[in-house]
Amino acid sequence: MTVLSLPRMLRAGQAMPDHVLACLSFGNAAAPQLAAGYALPLPPWASDAASTIEVWPASGPVHRYESHGYACADDGQHLFFWRIDASSADIERAAHDAYRDLRALCADSGYPQLLRIWNYFDGVTDGDGDDERYRRFCVGRHRALAEPGFERRLPAATLIGTRKPGLQLYGVASRNAGIQVENPRQTSAFRYPREYGPSSPSFSRATRYGDALLLSGTAAIVGHQTQHPHQLMPQVDAMLDNVRTLLSHAEGGPWHAQSLKLYLRDPAEAPQVVAAVRDVLGNAAPLLVLQGEVCRRDLCVEIEGVFERAVTLPVSA
């Protein structure tokens, strides 16, 4: 299997890789002045994080083009895709169209295997009951993806609310399939009971791909229920328990963090959350804290990350 070049967190002015699939900037920072530059409306915590960019290196020269409503970049092994259409007024239709077009893009481009997707849009928890925008998004996504056996091929994913109108969807696909990883502490999202909406969320808890483990957005949910509603630090503990359980459950480990993102409703709470995350996952990996709305009103925080297989050196005789 070709190895995916894992994303790096770089500060403005640091040397860029020779070949780049994509560069992501956050908050009000301008996207890098490259064909690969994209901006996400998620304010970072702390002034020094405002100049941080996430760089996805390529394994060689990159081909850039537009297809099926997406801006695309591929290096012959992996495809980075970014949804061009930003409309989200009818979020169910926007989700359906985005995922319908994404399926067509993957099929036509020769990169049929979705590895990781990020979804960001405004007013995630606006609306009551089944009219909540997150639930409508899940309905649209499910309609576009559902076919026999599709749940066994779902990628890792994140969905976070922003304050800027519009749906932004991006991710990475491959010629080779990853391995879906579920968490024994959590009900698989695609099997949530009806109380969470007409259609369950369509993603896996993680994707294992070669020496990489791509962790989905993970919150304080055990089984299918929120733990410690509206209580930040108890939720952080439950969230990190979920991460530890998944890391121990995923075959191929041990795993160590390569890069992490935290999403918080209130960035003023970042210092204590960061300290707790560092205590569990270590200090080596870059950790970016972003202000965003988690997909349940009673959830305060969510974490995602990229993990690498730890190298075990042979013991000398």
* pLDDT value of residue 37: 86
Distance between CA atoms of residues 217 and 158, nearest Å = 5
Give the residue-averaged pLDDT of 277-292: 96
Please say if the pLDDT value at position 316 is more than 70: no
The answer as to whether 50 is a domain residue is yes
pLDDT tens per residue, range 162-210: 999 999 999 999 999 999 999 999 999 999 999 999 999 999 999 999 9
Beta strands 37-40 and 52-57: pairing type? unpaired
In which domain, by residue range, is 89 found? 8-309
Asked if residue 124 belongs to a domain, the reply is yes
Give the tokens for residue 287.
């950790």
35 is a domain residue? yes
pTM above 0.85, yes or no: yes
Smallest CA-to-CA distance from 82 within 176, 140, 204, 166 is with 166
User: Token pair of 270, please?
Assistant: 């970042």
pLDDT digits (tens, 9 = 90+) for 230-271: 999 999 999 999 999 999 999 998 999 999 999 999 988 999
pLDDT of residue 313: 47
Evaluate whether 215 touches 246 at the Cβ level (below 8 Å): yes
Question: CA distances (Å), 299 to each of 51, 65, 228, 235, 281, in order?
Answer: 28, 38, 9, 8, 21
The verdict on residue 2 lying in a domain is no
Q: Is residue 22 in some structural domain?
A: yes
CATH number, domain containing residue 165: 3.30.1330.40
* Tokens representing residue 33 in the block: 């002045």
**Which region among 49-58, 87-96, 255-264, 274-283 has the lowest average model confidence (pLDDT)?**
49-58
In-domain check, residue 201: yes
Q: How far is CA 12 from CA 9, 19, 52, 306, in A?
A: 10, 17, 6, 21
Domain count, the chain: 1
The pLDDT value given to residue 271: 96
Q: Is residue 268 part of a domain?
A: yes
Quick one: angle between helices 232-249 and 270-281, nearest 10?
20
Say if 316 falls within a structural domain. Answer: no
Q: What is the rounded CA–CA span in Å between residue 197 and residue 216? A: 20
R_g (Cα) of the chain, nearest Å: 18
pLDDT band, residue 125 (cuts 50/70/90): very high
In percent, how much of the chain has pLDDT > 70?
A: 94
Q: What is the pLDDT of residues 11-64, one digit of tens each?
A: 877 888 889 999 999 976 555 556 678 989 899 998 778 788 999 999 999 999
Please report which confidence band the pLDDT of residue 224 belongs to, taking 50, 70 and 90 as the band edges. Answer: very high
Q: What pLDDT shows up at residue 34?
A: 62
